[in-house]
Amino acid sequence: MRSLNGNGCPAALGSGLPVRYKIASSHSGFLMNRSFGFPLLMALGIAGIILLAVYTGLQGIVRALATAGWGLLLLVPLHVFTIVLDSEGWRELLWNQGQRLSRTYLGWAACVRGAMNTLVPISAGGVMAGIRLLWIRGVPLAEAVGNVVVEGTLSVVSEWFLVFLTLLAALGWLHRASPSLPVVAGFLLAGAAIILGLIFWAQLNGRVFEWMTRQGLRLTTRFRSAQTPSDPQSLKKAVREIYGRPGALVRCTFWQMLSIGAGGIEIWVILRLMNLPGSLLFALLLQCLGRAARSFTFFMPGGIGIQEAVYALLAPVGQMSPAMGIAISLATRFRDLLFGLPLLASWQRVESRWIRHKRAGAAS
């Protein structure tokens, strides 16, 4: 679901992927979809970015990135802080399910989820990674799937609540940029409310639980025990139990909104590094609408091209050219590369150790 978090609803993950897309050993059964669909979408997204850059002014984009220079490295520790805040919300839900996973592990797992969402060409990769990372730490499958589904839904709620607040605060800017923008924003919010209602309804629908259970079981191939629950009712019960704890839901949403706000500070730092105009409120507007657009276009891996288009459209609101919006987006892509690649490598090591441990236990 992130889209439900930045990042779509759980999508089917095939039993294998080309070797270059492996995240775990082929013996673990957790390989990404081998079809060319998502890599093709990513290629189209990259082509879209190139066309946007050429059309809006490639030289200006290059100058803005050069102005920021090595200062962009500051974004990596800032992004770690942003993800750690998000992991606190995740932890609130897990602790209320009786799962006492450490802050260190959940912080690392949340970082891996983020890297999957931004770097790996599959839909909802972060959702699938989150489920597996909970399962290999002993969280029952139904509880792991239910937790990630609900946490992702709350992430979308947090995103659109902050979108509403920032649009409300920025109505004057929007009207000055274009008198029609406030009306467009109103339609977007109404559409988002309808979609969120459908998401909540779907999570209480029996057929949806059957589908989600099938996807969860595909993540636990080979080392799943006979006691692993495969009944959709187990997942339905887990989701309803989580929704039955409003205190945990509120605390989770609070931490998620703090995390989104910290992401807005990251955008503001980029603006300062590039010597661009724009207040902290404008940076938060970019962050919220960029995340929301990526959430609802979960079929596009990493929101490639989608985020750039949104930033380019919003740039005039902050009194800058569309090219500068694309430069800001590319700066976040650079941050994602520096942040995500080491994490994906660390996940490979964790999976390898876990598989060796399981094999040793089975042999003894």
Q: Determine contact, residues 57/321, Cβ cutoff 8 Å.
A: yes
Asked if residue 161 is part of any domain, the answer here is: yes
Cα–Cα distance, 155 to 124 (Å, whole number) = 14
The pLDDT assigned to 26 comes to 36
In a domain, 109, yes or no: yes
- Domain assignment of residue 11, yes or no: no
Residue 251: the pLDDT is: 94
Structural domain contains residue 72: yes
Q: In this structure, what token pair is assigned to residue 269?
A: 């730092």
Pick from 343, 348, 346: nearest CA to 115: 343
Domain assignment present for residue 19? The answer is no
Look at 21-30, 156-165, 348-357 and tell me which has the smallest mean pLDDT: 21-30
- Helix, strand, coil shares of the chain, percent, nearest 5, are 75, 0, 25
* Cβ neighbours for 317, distance < 8 A, ≥ 6 positions apart: 170, 173, 174, 177, 181, 282, 285
pLDDT average, residue stretch 132-157: 87
What local confidence, expressed as pLDDT, does residue 301 receive? 78
Query: Is 22 domain-assigned?
Result: no
314: Cβ contacts below 8 Å, ≥ 6 apart: 285, 286, 289, 325
From 87-96, 159-168, 255-264, the region with the lowest mean pLDDT: 159-168
Task: Pick the range with the lowest mean pLDDT from 28-37, 60-69, 264-273.
Answer: 28-37
Determine which of 5-9, 55-59, 161-165 has the lowest per-residue pLDDT on average. 5-9
| 42 domain residue, yes or no | yes
Q: How many whole angstroms separate alpha carbon 175 and alpha carbon 275? A: 25
SS3 2: strand
Domains in the chain: how many in total? Answer: 1
Average pLDDT, the chain: 78
pLDDT at 192: 61
323 is a domain residue: yes
Q: Which structural domain, as residue segments, surrounds residue 348?
A: 37-356
Say if residue 315 is exposed, middle or buried (CB neighbours under 10 Å; 0-12, 13-18, 19+).
buried
